[in-house]
Amino acid sequence: MAQVRFDHVYKTFNKVEVVHDISIDVKDKEFLVLVGPSGCGKSTCLRMIAGLEEPTEGEIYIGDRVVNGVDPKDRDIAMVFQNYALYPHMTVFDNMAFGLKLRHFPKDQIKKRVEEAAEILGLQPFLKRKPKELSGGQRQRVALGRAIVREAQVFLMDEPLSNLDAKLRVATRAEIIKLHQRIQTTMVYVTHDQVEAMTMGDRIAVLNGGVIQQLGAPQELYDHPANIFVAGFIGSPAMNFIPGAKVGTVDGRTSVILEGIGKVEVPQIYEERARAAADRNLTFGIRPVHLEDVNLVSANSNHGDIRSAIDASVDVVENLGNELQVYLTTGGKNIVATLDPRAHVTAGNKIRLFVDSDQIHLFDTDTGEAIF
């Protein structure tokens, strides 16, 4: 059992800095997800934990030990690779047993551990097969099995699901979550898929340009993104951003005024922050699910008169049965709204959208930082 710690880690390849001053504390038994677009440095971070890359500066700890310069084999870690990285000339059994054999485990114990792992992963019928005789999903399970049998202190996974088809990906995702609950090992998981990050991680570190943008629990990242990048990266469909927002007073309440689009009341707890930022360039943010057809909200009546609303024209309506995905244009900006299927929307028409003012976000356009 071990925690993993990054202490001001930098990594440079040929004078290009790919990881910049990263400090993370991965707690014992925690499932931490590193997420970000390609080239953000997330895989490099994982490879530095594995010992496949050395940090240019800073220290990495596994447990209480600084592991800089320690060989991968001496770090007590197990890793699952994107392309499975199975040994093609070995059977499934030998693939899983290889690490134990090299560590001189007794034969009966190797057999026991491999068979246990095979049972967890449903691989018993395939133990004598070679990797090329398996499907992609089965291969990935062998790769997981190879990591499990080692009973290592830290489990590293580098986009393990990205080569699987959509259905298998969802199923394997659940398997990995179950696996983590069962074996209770510290896990560091790299992905570019924010859905994987949200569903799997105890905590998520969002990386961009080699810098941690935000580190926190999935709900925290969703509800309180630290900046425009995180706000746009987490959540699907992505948050809508409307630049050129002003903070002013309407009917005695502090509001965000969107010229020619509408106005939204600022929640009381954020009024002070909003007014303090009034003289900056501001971007207004709202998630598609926090918009609704005004008529439906009025019909519910408990909202009384609508004080937060924006006007838009409808471009495309996609009916998913349980919801409508509506693409709109407002003030020259494209936005998306996820509406109740009873909403009256037709492509080409205008619509007034109610804005759930408790869920609004305001960002400094120049720095990208969240104001609230």
Partner 1 sequence: MTTTDYQTVSIVPKAHKARKEHGQTWWAWVWVAPALILELIFYIYPLIQTIILSFQNADSSSYVGFKNYVTIFTNPTMLEVIKNNLLWLVLATLLTVGLGLIVAVLVDKVRVESVVKSALFVPMAISFVAAGVIWRFIYLYSPNGENQIGLLNAFLGLFKVQPQAWLINTSFNNLALIAVYTWMWTGFCMVIISAALKGIPEDVIEAAKIDGASNLTLFWRITVPMVQPTLGVVATTMVINVLKIFDVIYIMTGGDYKTDVVAVEFYNQLFNFSNYGLASALAILLLIVISPVMYINIRRLRAQEAER
Nearest approach in angstroms of CB 188 to partner 1 is 14
Binding interface with partner 1 (CB under 8 A): 50-52, 71-73, 77-79, 81-83, 85-89, 98-99, 102-103, 146, 150
From the number of C-beta atoms within 10 Å of its C-beta (0-12, 13-18, 19+), residue 281 rates as middle
Q: Cis omega before residue 37 (within 30°)?
A: no
Q: What is the dihedral of CA 28, 31, 36, 41, to 10 degrees?
A: 40
Nearest approach in angstroms of CB 103 to partner 1 is 6
Nearest approach in angstroms of CB 286 to partner 1 is 42
Nearest approach in angstroms of CB 155 to partner 1 is 11
148 closest CA partner among 67, 66, 77 = 77
Sign of CA dihedral 219, 221, 225, 231: negative
Nearer to partner 1, 158 or 292 (CB): 158
Nearest approach in angstroms of CB 142 to partner 1 is 11
Token pair, residue 296, equals 């439906």
Q: Are 329 and 315 in contact (CB under 8 A)?
A: yes
Nearest approach in angstroms of CB 100 to partner 1 is 9
Query: What's the angle, vertex CA 166, arms to CA 162 and CA 172, rounded to 5?
Result: 70
Nearer to partner 1, 22 or 156 (CB): 156
Q: Are 211 and 24 in contact (CB under 8 A)?
A: no
Task: Report residue 267: phi and psi, to 5°.
Answer: -60, 145
Give every CB contact of residue 187 below 8 A, 6+ residues apart in sequence. 30, 31, 32, 154, 155, 156, 157, 180
Nearest approach in angstroms of CB 79 to partner 1 is 5
